[in-house]
Amino acid sequence: MNEHLNYKYLPSVEHDLDWGLTVNCVGTQEIQPGEAYPPAEHPLSYRFQPAAGRMLDEYQLIYCSNGAGFFRTETAGEMQVKAGDVMMLFPQERHTYHPDTTTGWKEYWIGFRGPNIEARVKNGFFSTKHPLFHLPITLNNDIVNLFNLGIKTAQHMEKGYQQLLSGYVNMLLGYISAYDKTSTLQEKIIAEDIHQALLFIHNHYRDEISSEDVAQAIGWGYSRFRKIFQKHTGKSPYHYIQETRIKKSKFLIMNTTKPLKEIAYEVGFTNPDYFSTAFRRIAGFSPTDLRKNETM
C-alpha cells in the first residue's frame, strides 16, 4: 500500500440516516510530482481515469492542503485548484480532478449522503454551478485537523462513530460557508448587512420595532431590504420579528411563573390578545396550552 495513502471506507445502516447524514469514506493521500494518479488501491466503485471522469452516488469534500491541480465538472467546466481549495462533488454529476504533474498535491476527502445535505442543496447553500471553494490558507491547520479526526474516528469505528463523523462534515461545510473567498465583495457586504439586521432584531425585539426600523438601522431602503432579507432568511422581516418574539416568549412561559400578559409585554407585544393570536398562528397552539402542559 502507498505509504502516503491513509483511508477508510465505511459501512452504514439506514438508521444512521435518521441522524441526517452518514459518512461513507474518509481519507488522505499525498501525490508526488510525476506520480500516477489516482492510486490503484481504492475500491473499484471509487476508481476513475482522470481523462474519462466518473459519477458517484454520494457527496464528497476534497481539500487540497498543498500543491496544485485541476478540477472539472459537467456543470461548471474546468477550474484550477490550489492549496486551500475545497472541491465539492455532487451525486450523479460527472467530474474529474488530478494534481498538476509538476507539483503533485496532498488531498483529504470525506464522502457522505443524507437528508441533511440534500436540504442544504435544495435551499441554495451549495450548487453544482459553484463546486470549488477558496478558503484562506491560514485555516489549513484547522481543516487538516478536522480531516485527521475523521480518519482516526473511522479507523477505530467505536460506538457512535457515524454521528461523530457527521459532525466533522458539518464543521467542514460551516468553514466553507463562512470563509469561502469566491463570493464577490458586494455579496459579502450584503451578507454582513443582513447579519447586522438579524443582530438588531435580536437586541431590540422587546421594543416597538418595525421592519422599516430594521432597514433604517442598517442604512437600507425598505423595499430593497425586505426583498433581500427574505431571500437570505426565507422570511419577511415582519415574520422574523414575530417569530423571534414568540420563541422568546416560549422560554419565559416554560421557565418562569410570570403571567402571560406580562410576558406579552416583555417580548414586545403591546396587546396581550394579539400576542395570543400571533402565538397560536406561529406555534400551532396557544400560550395557555403551553403553560398548562408545563405545569402538569
State pLDDT tens for residues 237-253: 999 999 999 999 999 99
190 φ/ψ angles, rounded to the nearest 5 degrees: -60, -45
Average pLDDT over residues 125-131: 93
Which tens digit of pLDDT belongs to each residue from 108-124? 999 999 999 999 999 88
197-212: average pLDDT: 94
Mean pLDDT of 90-105: 95
pLDDT of residue 203 exceeding 50: yes
Report the amino acid identity of residue 37: Y
Predicted local distance difference test score (pLDDT) of residue 2: 47
What are the Cα distances from residue 148, in Å, to 97, 181, 195? 22, 24, 32
All domains of the chain in start order, with CATH: 5-179 (2.60.120.280), 183-296 (1.10.10.60)
* pLDDT score recorded for residue 5: 53
Please tell me the predicted confidence (pLDDT) of residue 231. Answer: 83
Instruction: For the chain, give the percent of residues with pLDDT over 90.
Output: 72
Burial class (CB in 10 A: 0-12, 13-18, 19+), 134: middle
Nearest-CA neighbor of 27 among 54, 60, 75? 60
The answer to whether 93 and 61 are in contact (CB under 8 A) is no
Q: What is the pLDDT of residue 292?
A: 87
Task: Quick: pLDDT tens for 160-189.
Answer: 899 999 999 999 999 998 888 666 667 778
Q: Sorting pLDDT into bands at 50, 70 and 90, what band is 191?
A: confident
Pick the closest to residue 50 from 82, 105, 97 (CA basis): 97
pTM: 0.67
The rounded radius of gyration (Å) of the Cα atoms in the chain is 24
Cell of 81: 485548484
Pairing relationship of beta strands 132-134 and 77-82 according to DSSP bridges: unpaired
pLDDT of residue 14: 62
pLDDT at 68: 92
Average pLDDT of the chain to the nearest whole number: 89
Give residue-wise pLDDT tens across range 14-72: 667 788 999 999 999 999 999 989 887 777 767 788 888 999 999 999 999 999 999 99
Q: Pick the residue with more confidence: 138 or 186?
A: 138
